[in-house]
Amino acid sequence: MKKMTNLLAATALTAASVAPALAEKWDMPMAYSASNFHSATGAEFAKCVTTGTGGEIEIVTHPSGSLFKGADIKRAIQTGQAPIGERLLSGHQNENALFGFDSIPFLATSFDDSAKLWEAAKPSIENLLAEQNLTLLYAVPWPPQGLYFKDEVNSVADMEGIKFRSYNNATSRLAELTGMLPVTIEAAEISQAFATGVADAMVSSGSTGYDRKVWESLDYFYEVDAWLPRNYVMVNSDVWSGVSDANKNVIKACADLAEYAGNWRAKEYTGFTLQGLRDGGMTVGPASDQMVGELKEIGVTMTNEWLEAAGDEGKAIVDAFNSSQ
C-alpha cells in the first residue's frame, strides 16, 4: 500500500505546475471512521488533490460523521453547505430506486461481478446525480455483506423479533421479510447501538464489524455474500463548473487513482477483517444451507420488487449486467 500512496503523491506532484493564484478550502464530510479503508482512501485522495493543484484547492476530510451525519451528507453537498463528500449510494434508494442497484440480494456477490454491475449502472447513476446538481468523482465497493448476530442463527425462523440495524431500503426490507425489527443506525453509532441493546444484528461487511469492534457485543458472523454496496465521492456541480480545466484534470487523475486504490484495499481488507473478527472472539463461517436457501428466496422477492420500482432503466441495468456474464 506504501507504493500506492507514493503513486498518488507522485501523480499529484507531476500535475502541479504553477503556484496557487487563489486558494480554496473544500471540507469533505465522510460517514465512516478515520481508520476505515474508505476514509483512508478519501484522505489520500484529498492529499493528492491538494498537492496536485499546488494548494489552489485544499481538501480537508471530516470522517465519522463529524461534520454532517451520513444521512445528511448528500443534501449538504447539493445545497452547497459542503463542496464535496462521500456517501453510500444505496442510502438514497428512498429518493430513486436506481440508487439501490448494488443492493439487489445475490445479484452481484463477488468483486468481479460488482465491477461489471457498476459498469452497467454508472451512466444512469451519473445522469441521476447530474439532475441533482452533483458530479460523480469515484466509487469504491465494500467487501461482500454478511450477517452479524448476538446469538446463533441457523434459519430465517431463528431471526423472528431480532432488532436489526438497517442502513438503506434494502436492509429494512430484508429485516421485514425475515421477521426482524429494522432500526435505522448510522455507521458512527454502531458500537453504542449494540452495546446498549438498541440492535442485536446487522448485515454488513467484515470491514464495518472490525472497525467498530462489534465482537464486544456480538458473537456470530455468517458469510452469505449478499451484495457489495458502494460508497461514492461527489462534488457540487456548481462548484465543479468553477474549477479550472487544469485543476479538473488533477482531480480526475486523483479520483481514478483513489478508485483503483480503494478497490485494491477492499479486496485485501476482506480476509484481514474476517480474521480480525475471529481474533476478537467471534464465530465466523458460512451460513447453513437452510438459511442460505431461505435468504435466496427472499432475494428473489426483493429483486422483483426492485425491478418494478426501478422500471425500464433498472431492467436495462440488470440485463446489461447479465449479458456481461
Clarify whether residues 82 and 212 are in a common domain.
no
Q: Tell me the three-class secondary structure of 83-103, residue by residue.
A: CEEEEEHHHHCCCCHHHHHHH
Clarify whether residues 127 and 267 are in a common domain.
yes
Q: Which residue has the cell 429494512?
A: 172
The rounded distance, in Å, linking the Cα atoms of 71 and 191 is 18
Clarify whether residues 27 and 176 are in a common domain.
no
Clarify whether residues 47 and 104 are in a common domain.
yes
Clarify whether residues 55 and 177 are in a common domain.
no
Clarify whether residues 58 and 204 are in a common domain.
no
Clarify whether residues 13 and 90 are in a common domain.
yes
**pLDDT at residue 1, rounded to an integer:** 52
Return the CATH number at 151.
3.40.190.170
Range of the domain at 42: 2-142+230-271
The rounded distance, in Å, linking the Cα atoms of 256 and 183 is 35
Clarify whether residues 54 and 9 are in a common domain.
yes
What are the mean pLDDT values of the chain's consecutive 10-residue runs (325 residues total)?
52 46 89 94 98 98 96 97 97 95 95 98 98 98 96 97 95 97 93 96 94 96 96 98 98 98 95 96 97 96 96 97 92
The rounded distance, in Å, linking the Cα atoms of 204 and 197 is 18
Strands of the 201-204 sheet, one edge to the other: 181-184, 163-166, 201-204, 146-149, 220-223, 283-286
Clarify whether residues 200 and 105 are in a common domain.
no
User: In terms of DSSP bridges, do strands 230-236 and 84-88 run parallel, antiparallel, or are they unpaired?
Assistant: antiparallel
Clarify whether residues 58 and 38 are in a common domain.
yes
Clarify whether residues 53 and 121 are in a common domain.
yes
Total tally of structural domains belonging to the chain = 2
Clarify whether residues 254 and 163 are in a common domain.
no
Q: Which cell numbers in the block locate residue 87?
A: 456517501
